[in-house]
Structure 1
């Protein structure tokens, strides 16, 4: 089966609080689960980077919601295309960047474990998509700055 994956970066609107990010995560997880979409959301305090994957219909539903969100501006689509497998099959929305929130800290721990495995998969014989390589590049940049 062929799936669709989307990766994008965007600029967070000013003044987002940990509670805002918690609300975003809860909302995204619920809607993504209903749509059968999985993925990860990275946030460095100024920018979002999101990778999500699933069926064509599910990804289209989530993509529409993302584009209508008022929590970010300047959305730059980095990848929108087919993938042969799901890389986040057990995630409805993982997250990284956890200041002051239990939900964000738990999501961050999950992402740290998953990122390590993902780095190994992508490194092996060039596996992974350009979108996954972009995701890992963003993560490495955040790690280097932090």
Structure 2
């Protein structure tokens, strides 16, 4: 039996600036989720903003319940509140082991349309959580490639790519100089 569980919680860590990428602790959570979820048939979406998590999990009931136990023990967040849970016949997030998206403008517009001043998913009731889940579902993040756990683009990753490229160019120039000197 498939179920969908939606929960919210508060981050228990100080967010670190990530430039245009994903907050580093959230990036590690996302990468581990993608890797682990695909192994046990889970999927869903994760949204992080204003030190709050909003997550929808979908999959076999036994796996969801086992993950919920782990989530309640995870010291990276606190105040975990299950907003809704129920049986489903098909997944809403079937293309993602764990979807993650930046929707600040979209979320701001949605919050404003509901008369909500700040993002605090712990205050959501089940219907509001389901509606917000729909906002996340309709966002434009591309599905994960088949058989891959996905990667998180981050400022740190882009910086590492630039360093590697600089190193390759420097080594090529050094090799050319050595060839010129010794030939």
Shift of 1:62: 2.0
- Long gaps (5+) in structure 2: 17-22, 107-125, 138-183
Count of aligned positions: 109
* Runs of 4+ in structure 1 over 6 Å off: none
- Of residues 19, 35, 41, the one that matches 2:24 is 19
The range that moved more, 53-62 or 83-92, is 53-62
For residue 52 of structure 1, give the secondary structure of its aligned residue in structure 2.
strand
- Of residues 24, 39, 42, the one that matches 1:37 is 42
2:81 maps to: 76
Decide whether the 8 Å contact of 1:40 with 1:52 is kept in 2: yes
For residue 16 of structure 1, give the secondary structure of its aligned residue in structure 2.
coil
Shift of 1:54: 0.6
Matches within 5 A, 1:1-146: 2-17=1-16, 18-97=23-102, 130=127, 131-136=129-134
Q: Please, what TM-score do these two structures have when normalized by structure 2?
A: 0.53
Decide whether the 8 Å contact of 1:32 with 1:62 is kept in 2: no
Shift of 1:134: 4.3
Q: Please, what TM-score do these two structures have when normalized by structure 1?
A: 0.65
Shift of 1:136: 4.0
**Deviations 1:15-54, CA, capped at 9 Å, x for gaps:** 1332211111111111111110000001113110000101
- Give the RMSD, CA atoms, in angstroms: 2.5
Shift of 1:96: 2.7
Going by fraction, where is strand more abundant, 1 or 2?
1
- Long gaps (5+) in structure 1: 98-107, 113-128, 140-146
